[in-house]
A = this chain, B = another copy of it.
Amino acid sequence: MSAKTASNAFDLSTWVASRSKTVDAALDRFLPKASAKPATIHKAMRYSLFAGGKRMRPALVLAAAEACGGKEEAALPLACAVECIHTYSLIHDDLPGMDNDDFRRGKPTNHKVFGEGIAVLAGDALLTQAFEIAALAKGWPRYSHRDLVLEIAKASGSLQLIAGQVADLEGEGKDLSVPQLRYIHERKTSALLCCSVRLGGMSANCTPVQLQALTDFGYNVGLAFQVIDDILDVTQSSEKLGKTAGKDVAAQKATYPRLVGLEKSKKIAAQLTQKAYAALKPFKGKAVALEALARYLLERDR
């Protein structure tokens, strides 16, 4: 976490470190032990789940719950569920039949360590585990248990997260327009970030106005996050990113820098983050963690 944020009144580094620890401990509890038979699959699941991910999505779940006055305990299963979804999607995206990536977060990708078959199954298992964990979350009169499961299934299904990956695969080497690129970003990234903050709000029995605010916030933060990912792929080294830099350029993938240039991309990211801040107005200063997370996402350098 960038030291810059430490100068703010709210100390994001401390907040994130504490929440990451809680999330890691909960994930460890929710998942079968690495020794559970068959050990290979549980080692593979845990390898990617505990590979040093930034826990951005769980942080968004917990921050949204806090903004709505909810309890961490109620939000925690949902925070873990979205992290399982995120990790499964990375394992499958890295497969040779998809992005064919050898490194992720500075470590060999799941299929490089465990082989393709196990990597596919580890992703499947994490996706399934997400719903098992989500099933442990408590519903409210306003947001039933069914609403929570539907929220996750829709955000990660064939019309959202998976749609983004498909469009991304199909767009390789093609001249995409900015709206087409935005379509991909909305689904590949915004859908799950949006789902994360919405789940946090729902776990706190938030008002409809708060839910709409979180939706707008998540949507814009998600788009900003992806634009910045595109920018970092061009401007940073593989070592710093912990994954292969310049891959998008090499794969002739449509990215914001490629379509509109680097400077305009940076402006777009800043504008999207401004929209995200504006969405937080209804919380009247109570969404400090969410705001700090958005600022961190814009200022990050890897």
Chain B residues whose C-beta falls within 8 Å of the C-beta of A167 in the assembled complex: 38
Using known A-B contacts A38-B170, A167-B38, A170-B40, determine if residue A32 contacts B146 with beta carbons closer than 8 Å. no
Contact B41 A128 (CB under 8 A): no
State the oligomeric state as a number of copies: 2
A242 within 8 A of B: no
Kindly specify which of A155-163, A218-226, A279-287, A294-302 makes contact with the partner chain: A155-163
A179 within 8 A of B: no
What CA separation (Å) do A157 and B41 show in the bound complex? 10
Q: Considering the complex, which residues of chain A in the window 96-144 have a beta carbon less than 8 Å from any beta carbon of chain B?
A: 96-98, 111, 115-121, 123-125, 127-129, 131-132, 134-136, 144
Contact B169 A118 (CB under 8 A): yes
Chain B residues whose C-beta falls within 8 Å of the C-beta of A268 in the assembled complex: none
Using known A-B contacts A121-B92, A158-B125, determine if residue A131 contacts B153 with beta carbons closer than 8 Å. yes
A174 within 8 A of B: no
Chain B residues whose C-beta falls within 8 Å of the C-beta of A149 in the assembled complex: 131-132, 134-135, 145, 149
- 29 A-B residue contacts at CB 8 Å? A32-B158, A37-B163, A38-B166, A41-B163, A45-B158, A92-B121, A95-B120, A97-B115, A97-B119, A97-B120, A98-B117, A98-B120, A117-B169, A118-B166, A121-B165, A121-B166, A121-B169, A124-B124, A124-B162, A125-B162, A127-B127, A128-B153, A129-B153, A129-B158, A131-B131, A131-B149, A131-B152, A132-B157, A145-B146
